[in-house]
Amino acid sequence: MRLFRQRNRSVFSLSLALAFLSISAAAQISSIPDENGQRFPVRGVVLDSLSREPIPRALVQNDLGAELTDGEGRFELNLPNGMLPIMLRRPGYNSRGQDQLHLVNVGPNTPELTFYLTPQASITGHVTLATGEPAEGITFLAYRKAIVEGRERWEVGSSASSNSEGTFRMANLAAPGLWVLCSVPAQEHPALRAAGTLTPVASTVGYPSVCYPGPIPASGELAPANALVLAPGQQAEAEITLTRQPFYRVAIAIPNATGVPGVGVDIRDPSGRTLEFSAEWNAKTGLVEVYLPSGQYYAEARSQGQPAGYGRLDFRVGAAPLTGLSMTLLPSRPIPVEVHKDFTAAANNNPESFYGRSVRGQDSPGLNITLIAADSAISDMAGGGLSQPPGSGDPNLFMLDNAVPGRYWVLTYPYEGYVSSITSGGSDLSRQPLIVGPGNSTAPIQITLRNNTGQIQCTVNTTGATETATAATASSATTAAPGEVKPIFLYAIPTTQTSSQIPQTQGQGTQAITFANLAPGTYRVVAYDRSQQINLSDPQQLAEIASRGQTVTVSPGSTASIQLDLIHATSSSPDDSSEGLTILD
């Protein structure tokens, strides 16, 4: 019998979504059927990228045909001429990125192809309860260390629940990568509450959250002791023991919540993780109640309505019930954003376009904004599209919703020109975090956009490619075979801090690749054979980048031309799902 209340959690596969997007993009590439309906043989072999052994029964498919590889990993499709996508699939192997999807230029002289699949990295866990009871229905979340918009964050990458034998498995995990497994707290039903009376009890029992191999640090600093280093193809195992502990009643009053619609309360640990405790409104006591083991927490309350409300309460649970707590909801008003367009050219200024002065009857702000919490290791974003205040006749005034008190890095996504300055209350938000006070008492964000952009035209030398210091561990599957052209990933790293995304683009082979719409300034441009996650707060990585590539200065309205050597590298990104398509000529 299951003892624990369990919530369903949906974990969306970004890599799968991106794969479908890539397929759609590939389908748009010109495919010219032979005028006589002729088809041509496309032959090849599928190999394990680590062992170099052939992979039998791998599915090799195109919309016009599919086949399983034979015992020697070989396949043959008959396809019309043109640039066609070919998808690879095999249980136990990655279903992401460059391993999975390729483009082939089919014709009468199509060379024999060699494709590689990388074995999935996985974690198999076994849960033991100190009481010896069956550990069924314990849910685990797998957090991975990722680079989110140039900063290190923890993100949920997978989830699984233990079976009747206390075993769970998470497959197709991003690797190389750093992972931490955390159990969702499992609380036994209090007898009186299970009967539906909602009569408070002083305490119950359950199993607090435990992380393996160590806790997620609130600071975000990573040490080998509290993370599992997962390599491509690695089948890791985790033995986890949960100990039953008392869960004490915590009662929180929200005096001004009566009659306020849609009040929800989340419980978080110091790192910012939302814990799966069920905070409930008890109409009988007029209090929010939750049962927690001993530890440090904070509660966040949000309400709907105009304006929305927000409250936060930090507290510590000792070895006893905790009462007498009170939290006040303060108005969560939008943050004013003033956008000034210092435009000197007509580019992107067509009033009929999305990038023009008017969008659905409103003035266009020319950019979107995202806020990333500066004091939490857990990825937590707010913001997005800007809208004009109701009834405002000021074409430069907008507002940003969904921000709560805290410190945030402000990221900008201009679609008209570039951000030349961004400030709030005299603080330079390209270098300092935005401080959102209680009730969103925040000085307006002031942004100046300019459109005197320049560009960089890059020619990449793929034959004289250099290697990173870790290239000895790189899979040679990333090296192009004769006649094969693989994606090239280019990054233009500004030498000064910026609130915008790092400019990046992608191309193939010896074709010229252009960075367009760049802000004037100096950049260090690098070209890799795999997508990279660049951590702007990592001096070592930035120093390595600075020692490679080319430094180039972009002047307003001009085009700078440079030549780059391709860098062979293992992917610094633990998730290659954003990689493009392999193109075979």
Report the range of poorest mean pLDDT among 186-200, 464-478, 558-572: 464-478
CB 382 within 8 A of CB 371: yes
CA–centroid distance for 307 within its chain: 30
CB 521 within 8 A of CB 554: yes
Query: Average pLDDT, stretch 37-62?
Result: 93
In 102-209, which ranges are continuous DSSP H helix?
A: 191-194
Please state, in angstroms and rounded to a whole number, the distance separating the CA atoms of residues 122 and 237: 8
Tell which residue, 322, 5, 2, has the closest CA to residue 184: 5
CB 153 within 8 A of CB 575: no
**Strand 445-450 to 454-467 pairing:** unpaired
Tell which residue, 120, 166, 165, 178, has the closest CA to residue 139: 166
* 585 contact partners, CB below 8 Å, separation of at least 6: 105, 483, 484, 485
Query: Average pLDDT, stretch 143-157?
Result: 85
Burial 212-234 (b: 16+ CB within 10 A, else e): beebbbbebebeeebbbebebbb
Each residue of 301-317: pLDDT tens digit?
988 777 788 999 999 99
Q: What is the model's pLDDT at position 13?
A: 34
Out of 24-28, 283-287, 444-448, the most confident range is 444-448
Share of the chain above pLDDT 90, in %: 40
Burial 49-72 (b: 16+ CB within 10 A, else e): bbeeebbeebebbbeeeebebeee
Which domains are seen in the chain, by residue range?
A: 14-117 (2.60.40.1120), 121-243 (2.60.40.1120), 246-331 (2.60.40.10), 333-450 (no CATH), 454-584 (2.60.40.1120)
Q: Work out the pLDDT band at 183, boundaries 50, 70, 90.
A: very high
CB 545 within 8 A of CB 530: no
Q: What is the model's pLDDT at position 182?
A: 93
Q: Work out the pLDDT band at 189, boundaries 50, 70, 90.
A: low
Residue 376 DSSP symbol: -
Q: What is the model's pLDDT at position 225?
A: 75
Q: How many CB atoms lie within 10 A of CB 36?
A: 6
Query: Average pLDDT, stretch 417-423?
Result: 92
Q: How many CB atoms lie within 10 A of CB 125?
A: 22
Q: What is the model's pLDDT at position 18?
A: 36
* 14 contact partners, CB below 8 Å, separation of at least 6: 575, 577
Q: What is the model's pLDDT at position 37?
A: 75
Q: What is the model's pLDDT at position 299?
A: 94
Q: What is the model's pLDDT at position 220?
A: 63
CB 17 within 8 A of CB 85: no
Please state, in angstroms and rounded to a whole number, the distance separating the CA atoms of residues 170 and 122: 6
Query: Average pLDDT, stretch 381-390?
Result: 79
Please state, in angstroms and rounded to a whole number, the distance separating the CA atoms of residues 154 and 216: 8
Out of 43-57, 264-278, 527-541, the most confident range is 43-57
CB 146 within 8 A of CB 14: no
Q: What angle do CA 77, 78, 79 make, to 5 degrees?
A: 110
Please state, in angstroms and rounded to a whole number, the distance separating the CA atoms of residues 562 and 545: 16
Q: What is the model's pLDDT at position 353?
A: 37
Alpha-carbon torsion, ordered 368, 517, 582, 468, to 10 deg: -100
Enter the tokens of residue 119: 């074995």
Report the range of poorest mean pLDDT among 4-13, 191-200, 318-327, 369-378: 4-13
Q: Work out the pLDDT band at 30, boundaries 50, 70, 90.
A: very low
Q: Which residues pair with 291 in a beta bridge?
A: 249
Mean pLDDT, the chain, integer: 80
Each residue of 449-500: pLDDT tens digit?
999 999 999 999 877 555 554 333 334 455 544 445 577 889 998 887 776 6
Burial 518-529 (b: 16+ CB within 10 A, else e): bbbbebbbbbbb
Please state, in angstroms and rounded to a whole number, the distance separating the CA atoms of residues 50 and 345: 53
User: What one-character-per-residue DSSP string does 532-557 give?
Assistant: ----TT-HHHHHHHHTSSEEEEEPTT
Would the pLDDT of 141 be above 90? Answer: yes
Share of the chain above pLDDT 70, in %: 78
Q: Work out the pLDDT band at 69, boundaries 50, 70, 90.
A: very high
Query: Average pLDDT, stretch 136-150?
Result: 89
Q: Which SS3 state, helix, strand or coil, does residue 564 take?
A: strand
Q: What is the model's pLDDT at position 464?
A: 59
Please state, in angstroms and rounded to a whole number, the distance separating the CA atoms of residues 580 and 220: 30
Q: What is the model's pLDDT at position 112?
A: 92
Out of 145-159, 235-249, 401-415, 508-522, the most confident range is 235-249
Q: Which SS3 state, helix, strand or coil, does residue 97 take?
A: helix
